[in-house]
Amino acid sequence: MQERFIMDLLLLLMSLSAFRVSAEQEVENLSGLSPNPDRDIFVVRENGTTCLMAEFAVKFLIPYDVLALNGIDLITEQTSVSIPRGAQIAGKCGSSESELQISWINHAFTFLIFFSKDKHTRGSDGKAKETEVWKINKVQLVYNTSETTHFSNAYNPGKHTASTHRLSALVTPAGRSYVCSAQQTLTLISSDHQKGITVSMYDIQIQPFDIKSDFVFSEQYKCITDEREQLEQMLPLVLGLILGLIIVITISVYHFHLKLSAAQPQLPRDRSLYKNM
């Protein structure tokens, strides 16, 4: 009797412990705080601390089949899908693997992003240097063509899964957040007859590991496209400054030349006057 009481007590404690661990994870959809209606904000917290933050705008271009008017042939249509403000989110945080899961319209759509952190070898001055980086190693979209708002008259409607293959995207030094205003495009291959689904993400800022302050991104790591665009925007300004400097130098030299010429004695143009000099 006593042994059974102890066993029941242990089971109760284990249940409470499991409940406490699950209760320590929080997920928040803060998209309503974004001034951009297309940009979503998602936060995953564990033990009262932010462990994953993601802000981005995303659109999905999904092909699906409809029956032609002759009732025999199939025609491929496309629908554009975006994440609504009231989407449900879930997430997992780990030291080397993290995950963000976003669902909407009664789970007719589920968008999953998988992150990993590992060592990355880079060559510098002939020497190999190992650094720690994080990246997106998999993106997945689960969608149901039975959802009639986006899939009108879909042929043989049902649930499908589209995934990337051997992905290594948004590679970022560990401890920093990835930032990119430019559009980043991925192609997912669907279980629906290998159709290609286009995922377009822009206005991105993501950090799945090593967040030091609650609800605050770490130091930014800008994408190459943004760096190039910033350089292109600055180039006309730099060229304008250089041109202005050249004009100022030219005017100054000309002004100095005029002063120098005025200070020198003038020789008479009438050569007969040379005798009197």
- Cβ neighbours of residue 167 under 8 Å, at least 6 residues apart? 136, 137, 138, 139, 186
Identify residue 136 by its one-letter amino acid code. I
Q: ∠132-133-136 over CA atoms, to 5°?
A: 150
Domain ranges of the chain: 20-222, 223-258
User: Is the pTM here over 0.85, yes or no?
Assistant: no
Instruction: Tell me which fold the domain 20-222 belongs to.
Output: Porin (2.40.160)
Neighbours of 210 (CB within 10 A): 15
- How much is the average pLDDT of 178-195? 96
7-34 tens-digit pLDDT: 454 444 444 343 333 447 789 889 888 8
Pick from 2-16, 141-155, 175-189, 235-249: least confident: 2-16
Q: Give the closest residue to 145 by CA, choosing from 236, 66, 60.
A: 66
% residues pLDDT > 90 (the chain): 59
